[in-house]
């Protein structure tokens, strides 16, 4: 397949681009194309914060991943090698558990997947009270999410 707008092939390099956006977000707590401006994305117009010192080793990797031309982006194997080298330099074992509850002694194991709920063939339309999210619904959902991903295995 070909991207009709830019004439680049659509393949795994689009996933590499997405990974670059995720790495940028993890390092700098914002999306590289925060305002989602089409031209900024098409031209890969992003800036790495000049004040960042903590993730300086990641800057070249992020820049190489967020290249306009997909053919200039590193393949996944190279990215894994570079991230492994970065982890080794920080004395991090990428295969070890990660405790996301910093400062907490409580470790919560991931929960089993919920069982599917059977629904009638023609469910009744939702009422307005079910559509609106009142109270602390979002906070409760976030708590459930946190409990399910406290420990990650790489």
Q: How far apart are CA 28 and CA 23, in angstroms?
A: 9
Which residue ranges form the domains of the chain, and what is each CATH number?
13-89 (1.10.510.10), 98-152 (no CATH)
pLDDT at 104: 47
What are the residue ranges of helices labelled H in the chain? 13-28, 38-42, 59-65, 76-89, 128-131, 137-148
Residues 6+ apart with CB under 8 A from 147: 108, 111
Q: Is the pLDDT of residue 150 over 80?
A: no
- Residue with the bigger pLDDT between 10 and 68: it is 68
Lowest mean pLDDT among 70-79, 93-102, 142-151: 142-151
Do 99 and 109 form a contact (C-beta atoms < 8 A)?
no
Statement: residue 30 has pLDDT above 50:
yes
The answer to whether residue 148 scores a pLDDT higher than 70 is no
Choose between 58 and 131: higher pLDDT.
58
Residue in 15, 26, 31, 30 with CA at minimum distance from that of residue 65: 15
- What's the mean pLDDT in 103-112? 47
Q: What average pLDDT does the segment 74-96 reach?
A: 91
Q: Tell me if 100 sits within 8 A of 149, measured CB to CB.
A: yes
């Amino acid at each position: 397949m070909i991207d009709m707008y830019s004439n680049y092939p659509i393949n795994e390099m689009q996933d590499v681009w997405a990974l670059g956006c995720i790495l940028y977000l993890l390092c700098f707590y914002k999306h590289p194309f925060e305002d989602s401006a089409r031209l900024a994305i098409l031209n890969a117009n992003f800036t790495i914060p000049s004040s960042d010192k903590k993730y300086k080793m990641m800057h070249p990797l992020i820049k190489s991943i967020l290249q306009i031309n997909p053919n200039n982006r590193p393949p996944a194997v190279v990215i894994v090698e570079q991230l492994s080298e970065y982890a080794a330099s920080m004395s991090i074992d990428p295969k070890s558990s990660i405790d996301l509850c910093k400062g907490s002694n409580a470790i919560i194991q991931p929960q089993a997947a919920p069982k599917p709920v059977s629904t009638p063939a023609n469910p009744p339309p939702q009422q307005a009270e079910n559509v609106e999210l009142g109270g602390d619904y979002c906070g409760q959902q976030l708590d459930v999410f946190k409990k399910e991903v406290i420990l990650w295995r790489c």
